[in-house]
Chains A and B, each alone.
Chain A
Amino acid sequence: MPVLHSFLRGKYRVLVFAVAAFFLVSVGVYTLNFVLLQNVERDAKSINEGGKLRGYSQQLAKAVLTLSHESAAGEPVQTSQAQISEAYQAFDLALARVQTFAAASQDGPALELADKLDRQWQPLRDAAITLLISATPQRAEIDAAVTLSNTRNVRLLQLADDLTYEQERLAGDRARSMRVLQSGAIAVALLMFVFIVVHVARRLSQSDREAEQARRETTDILRTVREGLFLIDRNGTIGTQRSEHLARVFPHPLAPGDNFLVTLASLVTPDTLDSARQYLGLLLNERVKPALLADLNPLQRVQLAQPDGSRPKYLSFGFQPVRGGAATGITGMLVAVADVSQEVRLERELADAEERARSEVALLLDVLDKDPADVRRFLDDARAKLDGLNAALRDVAPEARAYLTTVTKVCREVHSIKGEAAALAIGAVAAQAHRFEDELGALRQRRTLTGDDLIPVATGIGRMLQELAKIDAVISRLAAFAQPAADAGPRGSETPRGEDGVLQSMQRIQRLALAVAADLDKKLRVETSLPHFGAIPEPVHRLLREGLPQLVRNAVVHGIEAAAERRRAGKHEEGRLRIELTRSADGGIELTVADDGRGIDVHALRRRLTEDGQRAAEQVAAMSDRDVIATLFEPGVSTAAAVSEHAGRGMGLDVVGALARETGARLKLVSTPRAYTRFTLLWSPA
């Protein structure tokens, strides 16, 4: 019923009505034919009966005359009587039929003629019956019958002719009517047939045009749309139609009949795939509104598994339930795929730009409270070191030992830059150096280095230089900004030299020590002693800039204990770090860095040397305590359990040792376990 209902209300309504009308017309024509043919049959019978009347009338007349002759000749008349009897009964029967046909045809003239026939017939009939009453009828009866037969027969013949003529006329009229009706009905049927054919043809043509238009529009949409579109059924099977853009977006060809989730499995992580499976299950649930699920879509922005080194690709999948109708519910999903890699990249660029802006502001703030001359000197020194490292890289001999020496040198210098940057509180450089140290540390763990291993060293130096260039740009901008004011202001505000410079260095070192202690949750008091002693030679200055941060950091990280440990050891929970710069009586300069921490545990250091594989156990066992302690000044030796931003790489004292050698200082280390450690650097008088 619903099908018929939709048929009658749909675009085929006219066609259905036309076919029904054609059918009705055909049935009407058939019925009419049937009725008219019945009339024709009746008319034919009627005409036939009319014709018989003539024959029976003549037969009766002839039999009466014959009987008259036989009677006159005294011959037997039985045969004639039988003929008379047969003729009058046949006439009766024919007349009755004619009357019946006339009555049925409702034709006035025919009825009238039938009545006249009947009236003319009755006297003759009676006379004929009279002749049959006796085997030897009376002459008078015979003569009367002959006379009546002669007179009435002519009239009967005339009337029968008239009646036949009338019946033929009537039949002719009917036949014409039937032809007209049939022609009309056939014409109507033909018209309807033509209408149906034309209508159907037009409908089909229109449908074809509409279908073609729809197909073309669909093709245009699928070819033009900037999204990958395709359909999946409830089982996840991919349909046959898809937009052209899909091939550009989706890394794998999607064949019709493939399963979407199976295809997806090779592109996303198992967790994402599992989430996607659950999400699609929810979308197919009729009771859940898709709008509520939009935020849950695990494929809204998904990174695809790509070959190593390829740029990351991000796709966004949108799912829209497809409904087949009220009865069928959700039959599948329209999947829209878009490549959002560019969008993600732009977002990240924006985030990076914001981060850079933040870091530049932080850098600016870092630098603002520094003496620009100090920062400039740091930059120059750091660049000079990096340039030196770059030259070492360029000229390195192609052998593993030379590579390791070079990498160690890079480690030392980068650690030195990091220490100095930390002392100046230039966090960006310190952080960059720390990341670079991570890479260098991994290289130093290798047993054999090759030339390829120097590529990350070169790129690391490149990043360091880039970071320094940023600070340089900030300093230059500040200098440009400050120049007019400086020009307008009093002269004599040159870079502090001598004691002022040392004082500022000490203040920075103090801040560095407290910052490191705070990071490590230690309590610390820093004491500095800087008696008046005039100009400071550049080598000492250099060590204060580059080496002192290492010694201070070393003391805070390795020497000073945490407050709880100090309490347990019976010490004041606040550790003490003393930095002293003095001039001896002979004009020499002495720098002392002392802490009241845990001192150097020689046994622990021996274990560490063995555990790290730096030396064989027998070799370590054979070493004196002095030699063991001396290893602290070798690269890579550290007592820290793990690498952190402040310690653990074993480069700090290596830097100090190298600086001492380069600046001509004697380095002394005195330590008592659980009591103190003191580093002293002595420069002889010039």
Chain B
Amino acid sequence: MNYRALNHEDIEVFSEAISAFFLNMTHEPAVVRTAYLLDGSASPLWGDFNGVIDVSGGFRGSITFSAPHGMLSQVLMAIGEREHSVDRCLDVVGEIANMMSGRARRHFGEELAISPPAARPRTVPPAAARATGVPFAIPLRWRAHEANLVVHLDIRR
């Protein structure tokens, strides 16, 4: 099966979903700092908390949002949550993964099969990569914190 290279619209779907989440929840958008390719030698960007969606059906790979604990604590504070437990942090990254999932379905169409969004702490190691293309990392800044969006996706031509 032939897969095409990702174009910037494919990635912006996810970065915009994250920005929209931060804007809606905290009234402060998360801003893309840059975008670059993660080569094979680089360690995977796997933060304190990770929201992951796996895709299939003409697509192959995963999209991961990784954020440090400090960032998520401040997000919880910004939305009026007093409890900053691990579960609440996982809820936040899970919600972001869910938002990415919805945007992805609109962008890529019904052919995209998306697994239920999963929220995982650092202690649960990332699953083995299924996509063969080069993953893209998009660091996003919110206040003084930086999270990472990693789009590792093969799209059938």
Contacts and interface: CB of A to CB of B under 8 A. Distances in A.
Interface stretch (B79-87, B104-112, B116-124): B104-112
A651 interface: no
Interface string A325-341: 00000000000000000
B150 to A, nearest CB: 12
Nearest to B10: A459
Given A309-B9, A456-B8, A462 B2 contact: no
A458 B136 contact: yes
Nearest to A460: B8
Interface string A171-207: 0000000000000000000000000000000000000
Interface stretch (B33-41, B63-71, B93-101): B33-41
Interface stretch (A7-15, A38-46, A143-151, A347-355): A347-355
Contacts of A458: 8, 11, 34-37, 136
A394 B148 CA distance: 12
Contact of A459 (B5, B33, B34, B139): B5
Contacts of A375: none
Contacts of A457: 35
A531 interface: no
B36 A352 contact: no
A393 B133 CA distance: 19
Nearest to A387: B39
B35 A309 contact: no
B138 interface: yes
A534 interface: no
Interface in B1-32: 2, 5-9, 11-13, 15, 31-32
A310 B107 contact: yes
A345 B137 CA distance: 29
Most chain-A Cβ atoms within 10 A of its Cβ — which of B8, B108, B141? Answer: B8
Interface in A375-395: 387, 390-391, 393-394
Contacts of A451: 31-35, 139, 141
Given A311-B111, A465-B134, A452 B12 contact: yes
A352 B8 contact: no
A462 B136 contact: yes
A220 B111 CA distance: 27
B3 to A, nearest CB: 11
Contacts of A463: 5
Contacts of B6: 459, 462
Contacts of B31: 398, 450-451
A393 B34 contact: yes
B35 A393 contact: yes
Interface in B127-150: 133-134, 136-139, 141
A311 B109 contact: yes
A310 to B, nearest CB: 5
Nearest to B104: A309
B36 A307 contact: no
A466 B4 CA distance: 10
B11 A309 contact: no
A482 to B, nearest CB: 28
A570 to B, nearest CB: 52
Given A451-B32, A462-B37, 5 more contacts: A393-B34, A452-B12, A454-B32, A459-B5, A459-B136
Closest 4 CB pairs of A and B: A451-B32, A458-B35, A456-B8, A311-B109
9 contacts: A311-B111, A352-B2, A353-B2, A398-B33, A452-B12, A455-B11, A458-B136, A459-B5, A462-B37
